[in-house]
Amino acid sequence: MTTLTTSIPVQRVSKSRIKEVDFNNLEFGKYIADHMIVADFKDGKWHEPTIVPYGDMLMSPAMLSLHYGQAVFEGMKAFWTSDKNINIFRPARHAQRFNRSLNRMCMPEVPEEMFVQSLHALIELDKDWIPTSEGSSFYIRPFMFAYEARLGVKVADHFKFIIINSPVAAYQAKPYRLKVEDHYVRTAEGGTGFAKCAGNYGGAFYPTQIAREEGFDQILWTDHKEHKYIDEVGMMNVMFVINGTLVTPQLNTAILDGITRDTILTLAKDMGMKIEERRVSIDEIEAGLKSGAVTEAFGTGTAAVVAPIALINIKGQDLAVPEAGPSSFQLRVKEKLNNIRMGKEADTHQWNYIIPVR
Ligand code: COI
């Protein structure tokens, strides 16, 4: 349990907007909590973060991030535990991934202590916004962007680090229908695929839009050279159960190092499941779905958590994935994860960052 006390200056809202929130109908990311934290990197150093009312900001149309894309974000979650304390899940690991993304984009790292203390102070202040219903959570969005106004192509000198939060329900309730992409690429090895930078998402919109028009929810991205091996889904990593073994694409510079991915692999080991992180070919999944060797396919991600996949379209053929029954690995591991986050099962890996609520 962590019990940091923080002394970040706070400018409170004059009137909370919480009454506007329909907690029974939480569309992902629709509502943003009352406060945000803002810190400036200027003159080669970080300036003290402050908590201010969430709201519009003054920005220059020449701001470098708008033109040359220096923008990075994280996605994380906080929950109420069953004994009514607040749990921020794996904040240190998110801080470390944020910094890896920032490095790739020539942006200044945020010291881990500043990252975690900012989360602590902000979430404690807006704790009434953390939803209580089953499956809901407080989605945390730390991000950074180049704030300097200049049109020359350059690494910016002035950045803003901000955290905003949103009460959310499950990202998508129904199982995913995926299309295997064999033309467009999300990223290439050596590119920015492992980094959570804004451009990875913007570049995926066009092919995803085409897939949506064809009746799919998301794309299953494949390697840029041959479209032969599976990378990830773009909003989540992907896992399969093949002949009883949990199989997932091995990380490379084109795949996001998902924190839920790591959590699920760790829990799978605890549950005695055999694991393989390796290259996974489309041909193997096609053959496995046809023969019955592939018994489960699911996505993992902060927003998606553990999301069942119902169908994979491979070279124009719709291949159904068996429905996940109560004894499926994905439902058992999801329940275990949920129990750990709620404090109902021992947190043996020290993933929970608990803010005690008096
Ligand atoms: C997350 O799971 O945090 C993601 O990155 C998905 C998001 C873009 C909604």
The CATH number of whichever domain residue 273 belongs to comes to: 3.20.10.10
Task: Say whether both 52 and 163 belong to one domain.
Answer: yes
> How many angstroms is it from 292 CA to the middle of ligand 1?
31
Q: Whose CA is closest to atom 9 on ligand 1?
A: 303
Q: Is 300 in the pocket of ligand 1 (CB under 6 A)?
A: no
Detail the DSSP E strand segments found in 218-288.
218-220, 237-242, 245-249, 274-278
In this prediction, residue 185 has a pLDDT band, given cuts at 50, 70 and 90, of: very high
Q: How many domains does the chain have?
A: 2
> How many angstroms is it from 108 CA to the middle of ligand 1?
22
With respect to residue 187, please indicate whether it lies within any of the assigned structural domains: yes
141, 171, 302, best to mutate for ligand 1 pocket (most atoms within 8 Å of CB)? 302
Q: With 90 as the cut, is the pLDDT of residue 116 above it?
A: yes
Tokens coding 179:
């299309």
With respect to residue 244, please indicate whether it lies within any of the assigned structural domains: yes
Task: Say whether both 188 and 259 belong to one domain.
Answer: yes
Task: Say whether both 242 and 125 belong to one domain.
Answer: no
Domain that holds residue 218: 176-324
Task: Say whether both 162 and 222 belong to one domain.
Answer: no
Q: Is 289 in the pocket of ligand 1 (CB under 6 A)?
A: no
Q: Is 249 in the pocket of ligand 1 (CB under 6 A)?
A: no
With respect to residue 116, please indicate whether it lies within any of the assigned structural domains: yes
| Average pLDDT of the residues of the chain | 96
C-beta of residue 2 within 8 angstroms of C-beta of residue 354 = yes
Q: In a 10 Å sphere around its CB, with 0-12 CB exposed, 13-18 middle and 19+ buried, how is residue 7 labelled?
A: exposed
Task: Say whether both 142 and 201 belong to one domain.
Answer: no
> How many angstroms is it from 170 CA to the middle of ligand 1?
12
Ligand 1, atom nearest to 258 Cα: 2
Q: How far apart are CA 221 and CA 32, in angstroms?
A: 31
Q: How far apart are CA 10 and CA 50, in angstroms?
A: 6
pTM: 0.95
324-357 pLDDT per residue, tens: 999 999 999 999 999 999 999 999 999 999 999 9
Ligand 1, atom nearest to 256 Cα: 5
Task: Say whether both 45 and 159 belong to one domain.
Answer: yes
Task: Say whether both 118 and 206 belong to one domain.
Answer: no
C-beta of residue 246 within 8 angstroms of C-beta of residue 262 = no
Final residue belonging to a domain, choices 170, 197, 220: 170
